[in-house]
Structure 1
Amino acid sequence: MRKSLILVAGVVASPASAGTLTVTVPRLSVAEYHKPYVAAWIEPAAGGPARTLAVWYDVKKKGNEPGTKWLADLRTWWRKGGRSLNLAADGVSGATRAPGAYRIPLPADLRPGAYVVHVEAARESGGRELVSVPLSVPVRDASATGRSELGAVSVTVR
């Protein structure tokens, strides 16, 4: 009986869909650099509700123009459900990031199927970019590379 209990606990602790999204914010050589606002979300490939994985914005900006005011510049994410998200959201929202590679855990409760992971960036005095990565659950490694505001975006198996 003890072996059965351990086996069940092992299945629960390590779901087949556990994976990581890695987002790279590149170092840009521009006269006036501002850290980008970034949103990452996942949605079924056949269509359906989007699930926000991360939103990086100016969380400390208060007053007449709070940091959330500019989230609408992440146009695709905003339309897919960002406007209805109550921020700051635990485990989802955070401050903008300096250039570097950042890991975001994928939801452990993803059902088997085809998905698309999207990462969108918008930068003040800069541009916008949307990078999409097709994903199959159980997770298989997948990646795409941005051309300007985003670098490599990849999904890897833990």
Structure 2
Amino acid sequence: MTDFKASNPQTRRHFLERALKLSVAAAAALTLPRLGLTSASAAAAPAALPSTMELAVNLTLAAPSGFRYNRPYVAVYIEDAQGNPVRTLSLWAETNRHARYLSDLRRWFSQSSDLVATVSSPTRNPGSYSLVWDGKTDTKKPAAQGDYFVCVENAREHGPYGLVREKITLGTTPLKKTLDSGSDADLSSVTVDYRKKA
């Protein structure tokens, strides 16, 4: 007995048309990336930050008051618009004897504690400091143009905790901004300068 579906031209045509559509789609999926072509969603991705620009984060550690003063632990880092870590610019902390105090940098530590060995350097005396972000992520990939949070977090043994966190928009236009350090006893000022590289 002959199978009706196998001998029916309508069924065979439907099967062949469907197989042809699937093979064309599969071929396109394999070929487009090789030709440097991307899907519409990937093509709509925002442009990277210009390699000719940099972001300077300038901060001033206040002079101590009182007789007992331990230099503060300070983390300076960049987050994306959703609050995810993008780049740690610096971590000033003692990582040998007093590593337990690192967790006092609550926000940074909860997201980026795995970077301690690669980004930490000694604590600093009161004074003015400048850190520069080259527009790349912790994995050295170019970051996209858009909104970012500049974060300066500080904590001190037997002292206060502070977090300066403010949104800025980075693109192709330079900007200067003073961030609100509020009543932070250890940070007297924080400013940012998005500028052309020297």
The question of a shared fold, defined as TM-score above 0.5 by the shorter chain, is answered with: yes
Which of 153, 157, 162 is the matching residue for 1:129? 162
C-alpha displacement of 1:69: 2.4
Residue of structure 2 equivalent to 1:95: 122
Structure 1 residue 149 and structure 2 residue 186: aligned? yes
Greater relative CO (CA pairs within 8 A, separation 6+): 1
**What is the distance in 2 between the residues matched to 1:16 and 1:129?**
32
Q: Computing the radius of gyration over CA atoms, which structure comes out larger, 1 or 2? A: 2
Preserved contact between residue 118 and residue 131 of structure 1 (Cα < 8 Å) = yes
**TM-score, structure 1 as length reference:** 0.77
Q: Deviations over 1:79-133 (max 9, x none)?
A: 122x22241x1xx321111111101011333321000011111111111000112
Residue of structure 1 equivalent to 2:98: 67
Which of 146, 149, 154 is the matching residue for 1:116? 149
What is the one-letter code of the residue matched to 1:100? Answer: G
Residue of structure 2 equivalent to 1:25: 61
Structure 1 residue 39 and structure 2 residue 70: aligned? no
Preserved contact between residue 41 and residue 52 of structure 1 (Cα < 8 Å) = yes
Preserved contact between residue 22 and residue 102 of structure 1 (Cα < 8 Å) = yes
Structure 2 gap ranges (5+): 1-49, 137-142
**What is the distance in 2 between the residues matched to 1:85 and 1:123?**
20
Residue of structure 1 equivalent to 2:114: 84
Structure 1 gap ranges (5+): 1-13
| Count of aligned residue pairs for this structure pair | 136
Residue of structure 2 equivalent to 1:7: none
Preserved contact between residue 38 and residue 122 of structure 1 (Cα < 8 Å) = yes
Stretches of 4+ moved more than 6 A in 1? none
C-alpha displacement of 1:145: 3.7
Say if 1:136 and 1:36 are closer, same or farther in 2 by CA, change over 3 A: same
What is the one-letter code of the residue matched to 2:98? Answer: G
Preserved contact between residue 61 and residue 127 of structure 2 (Cα < 8 Å) = yes
Aligned-partner SS, 2:85: coil
Say if 1:79 and 1:50 are closer, same or farther in 2 by CA, change over 3 A: farther
Aligned-partner SS, 1:85: helix
Q: CA RMSD in A?
A: 1.9
Percent identity over paired residues: 32
